Amino acid sequence: MRAEFVIVGAGSAGCAMAYRLAEAGRKVIVIEHGGSDAGPFIQMPAALSYPMNMKTYDWGYTSEPEPHLGGRRLACPRGKVIGGSSSINGMVYVRGHAMDFDHWEEAGARGWSYADVLPYYKRMESWHDNGHGGDPAWRGTDGPLHVSRGPRKNPLFEAFVRAGEQAGYEVTDDYNGEKQEGFGPMEQTVWGGRRWSAANAYLRPAQKTGNVQLIRALAQRVVIEDGRATGVEVVRRGRVEVIGAEREVVLAASSLNSPKLLMLSGIGPAAHLAGHGIAVVADRPGVGQNLQDHLELYIQMASSQPITLYKHWNLVSKGLIGAQWLFTKTGMGASNQFESAAFVRSRAGVPYPDIQYHFLPIAVRYDGQAAAEGHGFQAHTGPMRSKSRGSVSLRSADPAADPVIRFNYMSHPEDWEDFRTCIRLTREIFAQEAFRPYVKHEIQPGAALQSDAELDGFIRDHAESAYHPCGTCRMGSADDPLAVVDPEARVIGVEGLRVADSSVFPRITNGNLNGPSIMVGEKVSDLLLGREPLARANDVPWIHPDWETAQR
């Protein structure tokens, strides 16, 4: 089996590349270990807590015991299904802040500044404001990826934005437009009441061209002959086969599996590879390093009015919502329920937001456990640019073994300070006039916890991953010893091999990673086709005029 391009991973970036290559008439094989994304658990937006906790759709990885979080092992879901993590995520759509991408360029990823990536964001989007305002000039209108806004009918969504305003923060109509900073509506990859995953947006239309073949198999390693990638060795239906690439192999297998595949193929830190008996093809000490993630807390309040989603937290109501969604694709089932958001700065002197809020009108965990208090609501919050760095390494030379994932969360003292700030700023928002009709008392952390030491104990016991791992095959200049790929996403030291997914991010972006991951696939597809990049944008993003002296 051969094609011009072989892509490993039918996830956010892989599907986008398959679509653009197929559109240009190229023959593509996409290798995906997971199976079908059909069925209501994935396609119904409100059911989002199910697929990320189902072994059928998830690689089921966990971190090593985290030394700064009391030795806890944190869940690390990654999509093992058509659509990858875009089929099991929370469907929140955030581009990232303009200054994130300018930082990428400063870190050696030339051609990846905000002016360079904004045209790709516009190309990939079909944006729908659903009557909630926004910045049309900054958005795309005819791309494959539909981005919409929830109905925002619950009064708590508006209360969250008003409370932010009362606390002195900015309000923004479109955090993906000119002005990220502030409180406003949240955006979701939902269209026609369905999860609009990379599979629905890109892969299915690509397959219809006849240029894309999807192969269900486990990639074991990249086949490299005389310094050039010529194919991918896979296990398919119990047999080892090689799928040949006439032009290039592209790894888009996630920030956990792409570095693992590079190392299994002999590309990585030489001593680590030798320790596992793997012949070294390219000594790249940066492979698997620079692992970053977002950690978050759920600040939960009990509600004095029975208006939260808790009233639907029973089998009868869930059944009715499910039935309405199945037959009409409307109702509560048609939204992820994340419909208000905020991006704020933690202190004066921080030029752009470094704290994100997801607001949810129920007090519940990602694993679907509701707070014992009953009616409540919560804000997910955490620092966006932690200085802590972790790593992904091999457990053994066996391709079936899980990688060793060490996030090293909270290893930098500033992380603790930033998290305490998040808790205190959130409490202040919930104490505003707009929430007075709704707040009964604080569920967690609980009003009794006030001192730094008490808050640190809560953070240690309750911080959870936001499931945004990235950075493990960092993009940088070709002469940077710790870079893994160059600014064209080519693996340094090997011909015919690229990486295009969240592993190439030099630094984590401000917000959820699905949008930036798809953008990487879009931009790398032009590089694969040898096209000139889209013309740079001249749009100037909003920066708080008093950022040097004021926190809000």
pLDDT-derived band of residue 338, with 50, 70 and 90 as boundaries? very high
- Residue 222's SS3 state is strand
pLDDT band for position 310 (cuts 50, 70, 90): very high
* Contact status, residue 379 vs residue 358, Cβ threshold 8 Å: yes
What are the pLDDT digits (tens) for 388-404?
A: 999 999 999 999 999 99
Q: Is 370 helix (H, G, I), strand (E, B) or coil?
A: strand
Neighbours of 283 (CB within 10 A): 16
The mean pLDDT of 503-522, rounded to a whole number, is 98
106 membership: H or E segment, kind and range:
helix 98-106
Q: What is the DSSP string of 150-192?
A: ----SHHHHHHHHHHHHTT--B-S-TTTT--SEEEE-EESEET
Phi first, then psi, for residue 392 (nearest 5°) are: -120, 130
Tally Cβ neighbours within 10 Å of residue 396.
Answer: 12
The predicted model gives 318-335 an average pLDDT of 94
Per-residue pLDDT averaged across 31-45, rounded? 95
Instruction: Read off the DSSP letter of residue 362.
Output: S
Q: Which CATH number is correct for 1-65+74-130+195-287+472-535, 3.90.1170.50, 3.50.50.60, 3.40.50.2300, 3.20.10.10?
A: 3.50.50.60
In angstroms, the CA 19 to CA 31 distance is 14
Annotated active-site residue in 97, 358, 468, 544: 468
pLDDT value at position 369? 75
Task: Compute the distance between CA of residue 313 and CA of residue 240 in angstroms, rounded to an integer.
Answer: 47
pLDDT 10s digits, 469-509? 999 999 999 999 999 999 999 999 999 999 999 999 999 99
* Count of beta carbons in the 10 Å neighbourhood of residue 132: 17
| Lookup result for tokens 């959870």 | 464
Tokens of 184: 């406003």
Rounded-to-integer distance, Cα 195 and Cα 287, Å = 33
Q: Kindly give, in sequence order, each residue whose CB lies less than 8 Å from that of residue 221, ignoring residues fewer than 6 positions away.
A: 232, 233, 261, 264, 265, 266, 399
Pick the CATH number of 151-185+295-383+410-462 from 3.40.50.720, 3.30.410.40, 3.30.565.10, 1.10.3720.10: 3.30.410.40
Closest CA to 520 of 5, 6, 20: 20
Q: What is the pLDDT of residue 270?
A: 98
- Residue 399: count of CB within 10 angstroms of its CB: 16
In this prediction, residues 3-31 reach a mean pLDDT of: 98
Q: Which residues pair with 191 in a beta bridge?
A: 194
Look-up: residue for tokens 């040097």?
548
What is the average pLDDT across 95-103?
A: 98
| HSE value, Cβ hemisphere, 13 Å, CA-based, for 231 | 10
Distances in Å between the Cα of 539 and the Cα atoms of 112, 240, 275 are 15, 50, 50
pLDDT per position as a tens digit, 123-138: 999 999 888 889 999 9
3-state secondary structure of 60: coil
Whether 368 has a pLDDT exceeding 90, the answer reads: no
Mean pLDDT of 162-175: 98
Tell me, what's the pLDDT at 539?
Answer: 95
Q: How many alpha carbons fall within 13 Å on the CB side of residue 107?
A: 23
Percent over 90 (pLDDT), the chain: 95
Q: Would you say 333 and 317 are in contact if contact means Cβ atoms under 8 Å apart?
A: no
Task: Note the pLDDT tens digit of each residue in 372-388.
Answer: 789 999 999 999 999 99
Q: Identify the pLDDT of residue 133.
A: 86
Residue 406 three-state SS:
strand
The pLDDT value given to residue 53: 83
* β-bridge partners, 80: none
Q: Is 441 a catalytic residue?
A: no
Indicate the average pLDDT of the chain. 97
State percent of the chain over pLDDT 70. 100
Cα angle 260-266-272, degrees, rounded to a multiple of 5: 70
Q: What is the pLDDT of residue 365?
A: 77
In this model, does residue 367 exceed pLDDT 80? Answer: no
HSE of 179 in the Cβ direction (CA atoms, 13 Å)?
A: 19
Q: What are the structural domain ranges in the chain?
A: 1-65+74-130+195-287+472-535, 151-185+295-383+410-462
Sign of the Cα torsion 489, 495, 496, 501 reads negative
CA 198 centroid distance within chain = 13
pLDDT for res 326:
93
